[in-house]
Amino acid sequence: MKHGHMDTIFDKPVKMPAKKKRSRRPVDQSAGLGVTSIIVVVYALGIYGSLATYGFEHKLGLRFHSHIEWMQLAVSDAAVFGLPLLYVALVMICSRLSARCGKKQRWVKDRVQPVYNVVQIVLCSYMVIGLWPSVDLWGGNPFALNTQPDKAMEWFVFVHYLSKFLDWCDTFFMILGQSYRQISFLQVFHHATVGMIWGILLNRGWGSGTAAYGAFINSLTHVLMYMHYFWTSTGRKNPLKRYLTKFQLAQFASCVLHAFLVVIGFDTVYPKGLPWMQVMYHPIMLFLFSCKMLWAPLWLSGVPVAAPIRSEKQTQ
């Protein structure tokens, strides 16, 4: 006892328990050239086989909007195949330049990405609403089988095609934020290839009909995705995140089923050759999404990635 005051436990500093630490799953940066080659070959064979079955002799052009020069130019083979190759090259170059010369641009994450997320939500909602009439969910025809080509439908599928270029911003935001572990093969491959398929269909005059289902379900998925990104950008945790991942996988599986139904004759309107692109493509996506989500080969970004330890609070 000092100065008439009794020492108590409250006079001593209390050591608070340390926050639990948990680590991110390590990123696989192996080259995987064999897997890469197989995926690229399967994708290329799917495209070539589909077009060969459909017939290379068919006239190119949008069915309902070929008179609009800028729209036709956007789906020309030069744009459909050339721009994605440029995207991949820019990802590889900009990643290396950012790592060597640049600093992490925090303002992009804090100011630009929330606005971008809202733009994506609005745009994808516009496509969902526009494509909704062609997808008869309540009438038992969710895949829009045997739907005739339609001008309005082609417009919304065209907008969907253009949105695939907007999606490239995701990758460049990662580069500006130096989040190199997120620049995965899945990320870059999907963004580089999915637009090709839509461009090919549009330029063959078949960017409508039953193809509208693929644009619809992907747009709906993106609405949910960017709502998730916007929500978490405010510092909140999304308790439904696990269901979003399952919904994405279900999207790919439904597109495979849809393409098979068209191929085996459930749709008598759409040409049988073109759906083979989807039959070949979505199993690749299911494989990458299920087994190779954390595969970010070093040759892609050129930046070695460590798996840092984050606190429980930071992971929320």
pLDDT at 24: 67
Tokens matching residue 21: 């630490």
Whether 2 has a pLDDT exceeding 50, the answer reads: no
Whether 12 has a pLDDT exceeding 60, the answer reads: no
Range with the largest mean pLDDT of 5-19, 79-93, 96-110, 255-269 = 79-93
Q: What is the pLDDT of residues 51-102, one digit of tens each?
A: 999 988 887 899 999 999 999 999 999 999 999 999 999 999 999 999 998 7
User: In the chain, what are the domain boundaries?
Assistant: 60-311
**Residue matched to tokens 């995705």:** 225
Q: What is the pLDDT of residues 121-145, one digit of tens each?
A: 999 999 999 999 988 888 889 999 9
Cα→Cα distances 36→4, 33, 45, 158, 209, Å: 78, 5, 14, 29, 33
Confidence of residue 110 (pLDDT cuts 50, 70, 90): confident
How far apart are the C-alpha atoms of 42 and 34, rounded to whole Å?
12
Active-site residue set: 190
pLDDT at 225: 94
pLDDT at 308: 42
Cα→Cα distances 199→20, 76, 133, Å: 49, 8, 22
Angle at 155 between CA 151 and CA 157, to 5 degrees: 115
- Biggest CA-to-CA distance, the chain: 103
pLDDT at 206: 95
- Look over the chain and give the mean of its residue pLDDT values, rounded to a whole number: 88
pLDDT at 25: 75
* 309: helix, strand or coil: strand
Whether 4 has a pLDDT exceeding 90, the answer reads: no
Are the CB atoms for 279 and 46 separated by under 8 Å?
A: yes
Q: What is the pLDDT of residues 175-184, one digit of tens each?
A: 999 999 999 9
pLDDT at 10: 42
If you count them, how many residues does the chain have? 316
pLDDT at 245: 86
Mean pLDDT, rounded, for 20-49: 87
User: In 5-157, where do the E strands start and end?
Assistant: 21-23
Mean pLDDT, rounded, for 8-33: 63
Mean pLDDT, rounded, for 26-48: 94
Whether 146 has a pLDDT exceeding 90, the answer reads: yes
pLDDT at 316: 30
